[in-house]
Every structure is written in C-alpha cells, then in structure tokens.
C-alpha cells in the first residue's frame, strides 16, 4: 500500500496524476466519491456542504470525486477511477454552493479538475486548514420530505474515514461553556447572543434582475463569461435572455446601448469569440431559413474571422454597418454573407472546385445522331422560392432577338471563320427540348450541303423545383464540317478555342438565360449554386468513342493517363454572376483543376493563359 501524506496527494492531483492515489486508504484527510454530487437534488447539496465543513472543522483534507473504493479489512481503499464527463459538472456551481451553505464560508477552498488525459478524470475539492478558533456549521438536515431550515445548525466533523454530526450533548456542552464564560445569567446571555447575531447577519443579496451571463448553459458558463469579458468594450449590455446552444455554438443575446441594436455573443470551441450586431445576426439566420438542413445556422454556418483580419485568434466584432461577414461550419460549406447597395443581404458560397455531378448534368443529351463532341456549361440555380416562376412571352421574345447576336453565336461563327469559312450561327430554331411556360430550348445549326449537321450551338432552360440553365457547343460531325471548310482546314480544336467556346457557353448560361426567368440579383439560395463544365466525346451510340484527344488538341497540357478518355468535367461552386475577366480567370483555374484530376499533371494556369483569349 503506497504511503502519501496530504501534501503529496495535493501535488499529485495538481500535476494531473489522479491514479497516484489508488490503493490509498480513506482517512482523516482523504475521502473518495465514485460519482459527482447531483446538484439538482437538495440532499446532495446538503451532502456536499456537510463533507466540506467536516474537513474545515478537522484540520483540512481532500475530497476526490471520480474514484471508487473497495472494502478491505474494515478500511475503504481507493480502488479504481471512474471517469467523469466534464459536461456533467459545473465547478463554479459547486464553489458557489459551498460558500452559500457553510457558515462561515471556509477560506481558500479549491474545486478543480485533475485529468491525466488517458481516461482518468476526477474532481478534487481541496479544503486547507482553517482558523483553529472557528467552528463551521451547516443547516440541520431536512430529512426526506422536509424543507430547508435557516434557523437551525448542525456541526459536521471528520473522524477517521467517516463524516459525522457533532452530537446534541456536545453542542449543549459547548454552548453552556460559552454562556458561563460570559458571566451573565443564561437568559440574558442568550438574548445578547441573539441581538449580536441579528446585527451581524448579512442582509440577503437582492435576486439578480433578469438572466445572467452564461445562464442556461452550465457546462459552458465559464467559457461564455470569458468571451463576454473579452468583448464587453464593444457595447454588449445586459443579457437579454438565457444562453442556448445551436450545434457547436454557445449563443447568448445582449442588449445594446441606448438607442443601439442588441448583440449576439457567439462562442464556438476552437475559434475566436465574436459579437454580432442583431441586424446582421438576423440576416445570417434568414439566409438559411428556407433550407431543409435543420436550423439556419446548421446550414450557413457560424461567423469566422475573414482572411483580411490581422488577428485571426483574438475576439472580434461584426458591427451593425458591416458590409459582409464570413461564415463556415454549415452544411453549405464556407461562404460569405454580403450586403448589397440596396441593403439586401445575400449568402454567397466561397469558391470551390470539385467533381460532383448533378442530376441535371446529362439533361438534353438524347438527340440522335449524337454529336461527336459536346462542350457544355450547365448552371444550377437553387433559389429559395421558385413558386410562380415562368418564362413570360415577352422575355422569350427578348431572348429570341438576343441569341443571334450573343457571345455564344459569335464564338461558333468565329470557329469557322478562323478556318476560312463564313458560317454564321444566325438562325435559331426551337428544340431539341421542350418549349413551355416552364422550359425553353433553342438551337442554331450549321449544316453541310447534303443536310448533315456540322456545328451547333444550343441553349436550354428548365424552371421546375430548381432552375437549370444550359448552353452547349456541339461538333456534330467533323466530316460534314470539313466539307464546308477550305481544303486542308483541320477540325481539331485548340486549347484557345476550347477556352473561348466554354467561356461563351458559360456566359450564356449564367448571364443571358436567367434573365428570361427572373432577376437573379433579388433571389435567395436554399443551397449553393454550381456550374458544371463538361467535355464529352459522344458520337454514335453503337460505336466506341474516339476519345477527346482526337477532337481537342490536349498535347499542350502534357501527357494524360488515358489517350482515349471520352469525358472530362469539373464542378464550380460559386455565384454564377461575375465580370467577364473574373469568369475567364476562374475558367482557367477550373480547367487546370480538371486536367490535373484526369492525369494531365503538368497543366498550369500560365499555360492556358498563353493559349487563351477571345477567338479572332
């Protein structure tokens, strides 16, 4: 059996080695509990006060909560640690109850965790030696059904390894000795004691008005208080309600200054705390309100310090006049809430490149015969409210007038002009998809003299539960196209042509087609919008595809893993609306990301920049 004195036990616990106490016997200065005091039970609170007061009356000692004992030769031996979940114990509450229920409150009592990080996690209550001339008392036990009494006292004492109440005979003897020492008759002495007690009795503290900082989340109250202290200079007033949890965040609302909006204190473990002005906080909540992902914050995420902040780890403030706030941690991924010049807040996703294909990716691809090459830009617009959206006749007419002069028509025309042929994409007809109040489809096709389709441009839109816009450039038949070109003109596309055609298709899908449905700037999201850029070598379904490399000159990207790869694609998560130069730069980033994923590991943006630019 190990030998340790009180100071050695204190040292072991402060050094977070609670297992060093195992095999020690309980005794005059050591007590062990296998489970925490249940503070919702008044009797458990009485037990805590009794145990601490007993050590205060007995010269000091330690109570270890989280170690089970075994009985051996009439002694309780500390046998095994029983780990305690930190969320189940509010140390501040234990300290407060000790002060409230013991008279006088013992001095320098500490209540702390001792955790070795390997599964042994206990609470230690350290009661140092007190003034030897002071007697510590608690309210007399209430019994099973009694209410707490404030006009009775009991004196707990520590004897060997047990805690007992001082017997009534001892209480009577001590009181009689005090009366005799006063030199007064018993009645007079008791009356004088009563007057002194009333005069010295502390006045009850007024109950705090309203909720307190961290109230409502006992396990995170200390964390919230610390965050409040760090941010109090920003104008946080009194709590306007109790603290509450939303996912990983501890939240509490606070009043603002006179005539100023209130604040929300947001504390997420591992991040700097932030105080968000109520108008901005409501905009964050509103951004995710229509999603199917649970509460709004689970969708759009929680405020995070932007990359432009010099101090990424210190507390920060999002004021009422903020123009943007970065968000992360929600199911939508990283994004930013942005305020427009019209004071309308809108969530926008942070740029992400990936390869997840939407269920709309292969829409409008069933035409026969299939094209040999399809270059596609497809935009998914997951707007929060599509009820009542239709393609109005006037908007359809505007689109029909726009298409012959669009960037898409111009790119297809210049594709042949560069090869010495004037083949304008000037005539647009309905199809190949439906044309209804909730769908549109138009195609411009350049045909060979024998009627074979050579090159086409097509646009499609669907207005259902989700709005989808799509623009295709189709090399229908290279031999039919070659028949329209001067002798010797090749039909293989260069990387500069690939970029220009995809850019024109993307601009049509992101800028031209949505205007036939609604004004995208006034719509809110219920999921992140995406753009899919796809290159696919299709050809007749009864014959193997020749592969992309025969139709597009990919040599400048370096060798790939598969020379007959029929398809490559990339998905861009970002708002589809942007300036042309920004779109062109993003197109290059996306194509490099795609090329590397499909084996062209030497691809770079600089390489594409040297190859790219508008067709001329």
Q: Which two tokens stand for residue 171?
A: 């209480």
Q: Residues 317-330: pLDDT tens digits?
A: 999 999 999 999 98
Q: How far is the C-alpha of 127 from the C-alpha of 109, rounded, in Å? A: 5
- Strand-strand pairing, 30-33 and 61-65: parallel
Candidate from 64-78, 351-365, 552-566 with smallest mean pLDDT:
552-566
Beta strand residue intervals within 523-579, DSSP E: 530-537, 567-573
pLDDT at 355 over 70: yes
Q: Which is nearest to 575 in space by CA: 520, 516, 537, 513? A: 520
Contacts of 117 (CB under 8 A, 6+ apart): 16
Helix, strand, coil percent values for the chain (each to nearest 5)? 30, 25, 45
Task: Reduce the DSSP state of residue 231 to 3 states and report it.
Answer: helix
| pLDDT of res. 145 | 44
Contacts 24+ apart (CB under 8 A), 221-225: 221/90, 221/92, 222/91, 222/92, 223/250, 223/267, 223/269, 224/250, 224/252, 224/265, 224/267
Q: Which residue has the tokens 């009439």?
A: 74
Q: Is the peptide bond before 130 cis (omega within 30 degrees of 0)?
A: no
pLDDT at 368 over 90: no
Q: How far is the C-alpha of 396 from the C-alpha of 390, rounded, in Å? A: 10
**Mean pLDDT (whole number) for 360-371:** 89
pLDDT at 267 over 80: yes
70 forms bridges with which residues in the sheet?
A: 77
Q: How far is the C-alpha of 616 from the C-alpha of 413, rounded, in Å? A: 10
Q: Which two tokens stand for residue 481?
A: 């196209």
* pLDDT tier at 259, thresholds 50, 70, 90: confident
| pLDDT of res. 152 | 66
**Mean pLDDT (whole number) for 26-48:** 87
pLDDT at 455 over 80: yes
Candidate from 22-31, 139-148, 265-274 with smallest mean pLDDT:
139-148
Beta strand residue intervals within 116-240, DSSP E: 121-127, 156-159, 162-165
Of residues 88 and 143, the one with the higher pLDDT is 88
pLDDT at 309 over 80: no
pLDDT at 414 over 90: yes
| pLDDT of res. 84 | 84
Angle formed at CA 102 by CA 100 and CA 108, multiple of 5 degrees: 90
pLDDT at 526 over 70: yes
Q: Which is nearest to 244 in space by CA: 269, 278, 273, 215? A: 215
Domain borders along the chain are 6-166, 218-348, 354-611
**Topology (CATH level 3) of domain 6-166:** 3.30.950
| pLDDT of res. 344 | 85
pLDDT at 2 over 60: yes
- Strand-strand pairing, 453-463 and 439-447: antiparallel
């Amino acid at each position: 059996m190990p030998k340790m004195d009180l100071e050695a036990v204190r040292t072991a616990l402060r050094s977070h080695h609670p297992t060093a106490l195992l095999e020690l016997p309980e005794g005059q200065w050591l007590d062990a509990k296998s489970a925490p005091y249940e503070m919702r039970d008044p009797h458990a609170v009485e037990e805590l006060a009794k145990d601490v007061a007993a050590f205060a009356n007995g010269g000091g000692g330690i109570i270890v909560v989280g170690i089970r004992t075994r009985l051996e030769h009439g002694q309780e031996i500390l046998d095994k640690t029983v780990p305690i979940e930190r969320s189940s114990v509010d140390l501040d509450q234990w300290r407060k109850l000790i002060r409230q229920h013991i008279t006088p409150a013992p001095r320098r009592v500490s209540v702390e965790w001792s955790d070795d990080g390997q599964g042994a996690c206990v609470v230690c209550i350290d009661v140092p030696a007190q003034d030897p001339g002071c007697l510590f008392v608690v309210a007399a036990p209430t019994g099973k059904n009694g209410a707490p009494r404030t006009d009775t006292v009991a004196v707990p004492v520590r004897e060997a390894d047990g805690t007992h109440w001082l017997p009534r005979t001892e209480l009577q003897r001590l009181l009689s000795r005090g009366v005799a020492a006063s030199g007064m008759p018993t009645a007079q002495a008791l009356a004088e004691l009563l007057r002194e007690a009333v005069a010295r009795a502390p006045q009850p503290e007024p109950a705090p008005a309203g909720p307190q900082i961290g109230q409502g989340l006992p396990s995170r109250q200390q964390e919230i208080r610390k965050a409040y202290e760090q941010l109090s200079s920003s104008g946080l007033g009194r709590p306007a309600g109790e603290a509450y949890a939303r996912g990983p965040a501890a939240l509490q609302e606070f009043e603002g200054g006179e005539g100023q909006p209130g604040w929300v204190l947001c504390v997420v473990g591992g991040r700097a705390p932030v105080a968000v002005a109520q108008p901005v906080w409501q905009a964050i909540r509103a951004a995710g309100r229509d999603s199917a992902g649970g509460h709004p914050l689970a969708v759009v995420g929680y405020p995070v310090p932007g990359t432009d902040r010099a101090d990424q780890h210190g507390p920060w403030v999002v004021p009422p006049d903020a123009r943007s706030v970065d968000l992360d941690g929600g199911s939508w991924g990283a994004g930013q809430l942005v305020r427009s010049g019209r004071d309308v807040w809108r969530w926008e996703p942070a740029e992400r490149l990936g390869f997840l294909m939407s269920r709309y990716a292969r829409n409008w691809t069933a035409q026969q015969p299939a094209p040999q090459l399809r270059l596609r830009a497809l935009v998914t617009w997951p707007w929060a409210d599509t009820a009542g959206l239709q393609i109005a006749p006037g908007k359809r007419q505007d689109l029909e007038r726009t298409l012959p002069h669009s960037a898409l028509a111009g790119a297809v025309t210049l594709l042949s002009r560069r090869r010495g042929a004037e083949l304008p994409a000037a005539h647009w007809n309905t199809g190949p998809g439906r044309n209804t109040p909730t769908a549109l489809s138009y195609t411009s096709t350049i045909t060979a003299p024998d009627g074979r389709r050579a090159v086409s441009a097509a646009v499609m839109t669907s207005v259902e539960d989700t709005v989808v816009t799509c623009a295709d450039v189709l090399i229908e038949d290279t031999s039919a196209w070659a028949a329209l070109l001067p002798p010797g003109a090749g039909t293989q596309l260069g990387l500069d042509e690939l970029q220009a055609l995809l850019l024109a298709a993307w601009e049509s899908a992101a800028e031209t087609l949505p205007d036939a449905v609604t004004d995208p700037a006034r719509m809110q999201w219920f999921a992140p919008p995406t753009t899919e850029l796809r290159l696919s070598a299709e050809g007749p379904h009864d014959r193997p595809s020749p592969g992309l490399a025969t139709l597009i000159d990919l040599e400048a990207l370096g060798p790939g893993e598969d020379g007959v790869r029929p398809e490559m694609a990339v998905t861009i998560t970002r708002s589809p609306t942007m300036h042309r130069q920004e779109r062109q730069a993003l197109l290059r980033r996306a194509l490099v990301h795609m090329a590397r994923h499909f084996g062209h590991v030497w691809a770079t943006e600089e390489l594409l920049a040297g190859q790219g630019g508008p067709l001329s």
